Amino acid sequence: MRLQLLLIIFFFSSFPYCLSFFFFFGFIGVWVDGWAHPNKRNQKQQQKGVEVTHEEGKKEEVAGRAVQFGGVRPFFACVCPHRRFESIEEAMLRTVVPLHNSRKLALRFFQTEQRKNTNLHGLSAVQKKKVILKMFKQLTREDMDALKKRAAAWEAKKISGETAIPSYRRRNEITPYELFYKEQLSNPSIASIASPGIREKKLFAIFNSLPDATREALEKRARELSQGMALSDSPPPSGKKPSASKKKKKRITIKTSSKSRSMTSQGASVGKKKKRTVTKTKVSPYAAFVKEQMPHMTHLPTKERMKAIAEKWNSMKTENAVEKSKPENTAAADPAPPS
């Protein structure tokens, strides 16, 4: 009972404070909404001296005044907080989105500028992107403003079509890193690395640790190779020789006697027969025995057929050997007949 009484007393004592808090934040919401959404159309028309005759504009003004002074707008501003902060979000978007777009445009322009940077030519695409992003983040505020202005001018030129965008694709240019990478692939310690990512990291670390003399030599060789490729821009001749124009062969008719025709036809037939005759390989006796015995072994499984045939063949061999040895023994045992 005492707890209920205490709760009732607390509710009635804190009610005025809650009400004042409610109306205070409601009026703040009204002020922010009016600041972010001024009736610009009516203001401009009044500045020019044109009377506002649009019915929707009058309705908007009347409704706005009624809500502001009637106390309904503070209520909706507090009950619906998303309605209260819509105006703030829109005002922030108006300023943040162009800034974000200008920064993106500046980064894109900065990337196109840095493509011409010779210090980055030896890097891979991933490493180059990381370095360019780091350089972009390290720019001062003045440099960033100047870059944004140049990027805006570049974008305007691109849209208007005054200048064509040059293609930065280096078709016939070999970088020192590419040359070093191709040469090191034949190294067995590098070729044994299965993962291409680990291999590239290792080669990149080795390339960065090279002395200046070897790097200059690599640059010189890469420049010579790229110049040679640029000179040989024309496609190489194909391996096939150009087919000569086929001349029409004239048929020459020669009259021959019937005897000569018969002789030539006989000779041709003999030659064909000689070509067709091929030396046939002799079939072994065991192969012939297998061919004979195979139809009788259909009741056995395929793996045991050859075993059974081999056993038969061995038994036949032993029988033949015994039969051959018997007459020799009998001839040796019989005494010679008396003379």
User: What band does 34 get if pLDDT is binned at 50, 70 and 90?
Assistant: low
- Average pLDDT (256-283) is 56
The answer on pLDDT for 184 being more than 60 is: yes
Give me the pLDDT at residue 192, please: 85
Neighbours of 132 (CB within 10 A): 19
User: What band does 55 get if pLDDT is binned at 50, 70 and 90?
Assistant: very low
8 Å CB contact between 117 and 132: no
Give me the pLDDT at residue 53, please: 43
Q: Which range has the worst mean pLDDT, 4-8, 18-22, 41-45? A: 41-45
Q: Higher pLDDT residue, 334 or 308?
A: 308
Neighbours of 127 (CB within 10 A): 16
Give me the pLDDT at residue 69, please: 41
* 206-250 confidence digits (pLDDT tens): 888 888 888 889 888 888 887 776 566 555 455 555 555 555 555
User: What band does 61 get if pLDDT is binned at 50, 70 and 90?
Assistant: very low
Mean pLDDT value across the chain = 68
* 140-165 confidence digits (pLDDT tens): 888 888 888 888 888 888 887 654 44
Give me the pLDDT at residue 337, please: 52
Q: Is the pTM value of this prediction over 0.75?
A: no
User: What band does 70 get if pLDDT is binned at 50, 70 and 90?
Assistant: very low
- CA-to-CA distance for 90 and 84, rounded, in angstroms? 11
What DSSP state is assigned to residue 78?
H
H-type alpha helices, 161-284? 176-184, 188-191, 196-208, 212-231, 258-276
Distances (CA, A) of 21 to 27, 35, 230: 10, 21, 78
Please tell me whether residue 293 adopts helix, strand or coil conformation: helix
- CA-to-CA distance for 12 and 26, rounded, in angstroms? 22
Give me the pLDDT at residue 242, please: 52
Distance in Å from the first CA to the final CA of the chain: 159
- Average pLDDT (94-110) is 70
8 Å CB contact between 116 and 60: no
The answer on pLDDT for 93 being more than 80 is: no
234: left (phi over 0), alpha (psi -120 to 50) or beta: beta
The answer on pLDDT for 81 being more than 70 is: no
Q: Could you give the angle at which helices 55-70 and 72-79 cross, rounded to 10 degrees?
A: 80
The answer on pLDDT for 2 being more than 50 is: yes
Instruction: For tokens 């870059």, name the residue.
Output: 147
* 270-326 confidence digits (pLDDT tens): 555 555 555 567 778 888 888 888 887 777 887 788 888 888 888 888 888 777 776
Q: Torsion over CA of 196, 198, 204 and 206, rounded to 10 degrees?
A: -120
264 φ, ψ to 5°?
-65, -40
The answer on pLDDT for 45 being more than 80 is: no
The answer on pLDDT for 110 being more than 50 is: yes
- Average pLDDT (74-99) is 49
**64: nearest Cα among 29, 32, 39, 28:** 39
